[in-house]
Amino acid sequence: MPQERAHVRLLIIAGVAFLWMGAVFGRLTYLQLFLHGDYLARALRQQQRTIEITPERGAIYDRNKRPLAMSIPVDSAFGVPSEIADEHLAARLLSGVVDVPQDVLEARFESSRSFVWISRKLPPEKAEAITALNLKGIYLQKENKRFYPKRDLAAHVLGFVDMDEKGLGGIEYELDTEIRGKSEKIVVMEDARRRWFDGSQAKLNNGADVVLTLDEKIQYLTERELNAAIARTRAIAGTAIVMNPNTGEILALANWPTFNPNKASEAPADARMDRAVGALYEPGSTFKLITLAAAFNEGITRPDEVFDCENGSVLVAGHRIHDHKPFGLLNVAQILAESSDVGAIKIALRLQAPRFYDYIRAFGFGLLTGVDLPGESRGLLRPVDDWGSFSIGSISMGQEIGVTPIQLVTAVSAIANGGLLYRPHVVAELERGDRVLPAEGLLTPTEARRVIRPETAATLRRLMEGVVLEGTGTRAHLDGWTSAGKTGSAQKIDTATGRYSRTQYIASFTGFAPINNPAVAILVSLDSPVGQHEGGEVAAPVFKRIAEEVLTYLDVPRDVPLNPKLIQAAYQKQTKEEGSALEDLSSVDFSGQPDAAPAASQTTKLDGQGRTDSKRPALTVAVDQGGEVEVPDFSGKTMREAADISLRLGLDPVLVGSNLAMDQSPAAGAKVRRGAKITVRFGTPLEKKSKPRPGNRN
């Protein structure tokens, strides 16, 4: 009996256990089999995320692959309002970090429960500050931000982007589709802590990198000289373009005013305008080049043909035109050199309007050049049928026609290279990784178009050289290279009266160097300089400085010997011809007593941009060619002693500083040729001890 009871109890327990297990397994079966789909979908909804991968915007480089624009990932702060415990507190804390008003943040939290931006593309310190707040529901995610590390260098060429990295100007706008790449969506699985643990592989479609034809160094030199000219002349705007006349590559394109693309939204619209391609102006006397090019090419005149410039005044179609000087008889070369309007008009009248119009169009005026920058203007050129009775005269001297700087320098490049008009361009190629992309669309290479015969171009080059050697452009004369060009001083239209202004001019100079096998064509244009307004006075010196620096940088071999007067002029009173080349040289006063240090006020520190009006001594340096000379030791010598010793040995001393000689180059004992340059630095012994070495200063 007891056994039977035990057996029954066991059976009851077993039965209960089986029932329990049956219930569990039944539930499991129900969940795993019948509700499998529902729970799988719920899990995927929780874990699966579709993420859009923003491609990295392509970088922009100069021709030597130096970066001018790059994108790097930075943190952007966003919030999930449904997860924020105290929105008011969160808004208050965040407003102190991100400079967004608290009420604005609160409004954003109210506007959506799932996602709101707090602040985008934050600097690292602000992102760290937000992380330090450790607020629930506030997260950081990476976004690409565009940086321009060289600040305002080539700003108008590069352009700028908006907050979403959409190009709004320059190359950023023109090649936006190619540069921005294609975004891709990937599916990722994330856990409760938002850590990804599985994701499909993203196929990266980053944007293409752009390699420009600009040279960073040439661009900087050009901008620096333009800025200095603007400061000197107090012009309201300016443009400078450096182009390779043999290919149409633009090596530098500078505008003033300019802006910093990193802060483009803060710059006025006027500063963001690319005047080089979009601003129209009447070219003035520089357009005489086109007049003469057409005349020579048609064979209707010769450089030595003489024209009567009627004492500087002529009446044509009821209009009286005056030259800036009362010229009498001038040959064509002189007409160009002296920039006689009367002479140019007479040549144009012989050419006649239809042929002249054809040549103007052939040189690209009134048409788009096709430069790969946005906002280009085709200029203003009325059809020949709409020309008035005096239009041919006006246009021949560069009035009644509107041109852009890029059109003019392209036309002058055609003269420089022998008559071929190239399409100006700033984009060299597009790259993706190591692969150069095929040139298509805007980058499709175009054939150069012949506009004048090579002989005509050669003739014009010779005449343009005359402008620099003897005419209005002597301040564009380069030291060590031949150069050619044309000055322009065009009156602006006074918008109040609708007539030509007597006070506001566009001063310009356009030219190229060297004459044979030109390496660069340069245009400099200054809008409304104060005081002097002639192109030969204000623009030609800028051309000279840019050309000399650029030709030196490019190692273009000199084609003329260095001007020996230049060496003498370092110690003589500054003359008109050598003026601007010596602006960096310190003035040295040799008129003091022997062994007496020159007064501090009479010497100036070397300054690349400063001008000195100090009295220059009269001392002629005799340079003797040939022979070998051992460089003496100048230590402790005065300036007069150092100069005397150098001259006796036939060396060319460059004396820097004041007081006693402290340092020299080459060193004492070196063997150099006669006429070699010896640099001697002067100072006091205390100066030498306290003078910081490069790199020690902060």
In the complex, which residues of this chain contact another protein (CB under 8 A)?
66-68, 70-73, 142, 147, 149-151, 153, 188-189, 191, 195-199, 216-217, 220, 224, 244, 246-247, 249, 251, 478-480, 519, 548-549, 552-558, 562-563, 566-567, 570, 581-582, 584-585, 605-608, 628, 631, 654, 665-667, 669-672, 677, 692, 694, 697
In the complex, least distance from residue 583 CB atom to another protein, rounded to whole angstroms: 9
In the complex, least distance from residue 197 CB atom to another protein, rounded to whole angstroms: 4
In the complex, least distance from residue 419 CB atom to another protein, rounded to whole angstroms: 19
Residues with Cβ within 8 Å of 475's Cβ and at least 6 positions away in sequence, in order, are 536, 537, 540, 541, 544, 579, 580
Which CB, 21 or 530, lies closer to another protein?
21
Structure tokens at 566: 């230049």
Which CB, 591 or 665, lies closer to another protein?
665
Which CB, 262 or 313, lies closer to another protein?
262
Which CB, 554 or 647, lies closer to another protein?
554
In the complex, least distance from residue 645 CB atom to another protein, rounded to whole angstroms: 17
In the complex, least distance from residue 318 CB atom to another protein, rounded to whole angstroms: 49
In the complex, least distance from residue 264 CB atom to another protein, rounded to whole angstroms: 18
Rounded Cα gap, residues 348 and 359, in angstroms: 12
Which CB, 224 or 355, lies closer to another protein?
224
In the complex, least distance from residue 191 CB atom to another protein, rounded to whole angstroms: 8
Rounded Cα gap, residues 357 and 327, in angstroms: 27
Which CB, 408 or 556, lies closer to another protein?
556
Rounded Cα gap, residues 407 and 154, in angstroms: 19
In the complex, least distance from residue 541 CB atom to another protein, rounded to whole angstroms: 14
The contacts found for 546-549 with CB under 8 angstroms, 24 or more apart, are 546/221, 546/222, 546/225, 546/240, 546/242, 546/522, 547/476, 547/478, 547/481, 547/483, 547/511, 547/513, 547/520, 547/522, 548/478, 548/479, 548/480, 548/481, 548/581, 549/221, 549/225
In the complex, least distance from residue 449 CB atom to another protein, rounded to whole angstroms: 21
Angle 92-93-96 (CA atoms, 0-180°, nearest 5)?
90
Residues with Cβ within 8 Å of 517's Cβ and at least 6 positions away in sequence, in order, are none
Q: Omega before 245 cis (within 30°)?
A: no
Which CB, 135 or 478, lies closer to another protein?
478
CB-CB contact of 567 with 621 (8 Å): yes
DSSP 403: B
Q: Omega before 598 cis (within 30°)?
A: no
Q: Which of 473, 470, 577 is nearest to 535 (CA)?
A: 473
Find tokens 């020159």 and name the residue.
598
Find tokens 């709101």 and name the residue.
116
How many other β-carbons are positioned within 10 Å of the β-carbon of residue 282? Answer: 23
Which CB, 352 or 575, lies closer to another protein?
575
Rounded Cα gap, residues 290 and 244, in angstroms: 20
Q: Which of 284, 352, 309 is nearest to 504 (CA)?
A: 284
Find tokens 């992309």 and name the residue.
437
Which CB, 68 or 337, lies closer to another protein?
68
Rounded Cα gap, residues 6 and 14, in angstroms: 12
In the complex, least distance from residue 35 CB atom to another protein, rounded to whole angstroms: 20
Which CB, 224 or 453, lies closer to another protein?
224
In the complex, least distance from residue 648 CB atom to another protein, rounded to whole angstroms: 20
Which CB, 31 or 668, lies closer to another protein?
668
Which CB, 530 or 606, lies closer to another protein?
606
Angle 214-220-224 (CA atoms, 0-180°, nearest 5)?
140
In the complex, least distance from residue 231 CB atom to another protein, rounded to whole angstroms: 15
Structure tokens at 195: 């850590």
Which CB, 348 or 521, lies closer to another protein?
521
Rounded Cα gap, residues 358 and 354, in angstroms: 6
In the complex, least distance from residue 321 CB atom to another protein, rounded to whole angstroms: 40
Q: Which residues partner with 656 through β-bridges?
A: 681
Q: Which of 332, 325, 264 is nearest to 302 (CA)?
A: 332
CB-CB contact of 424 with 245 (8 Å): no
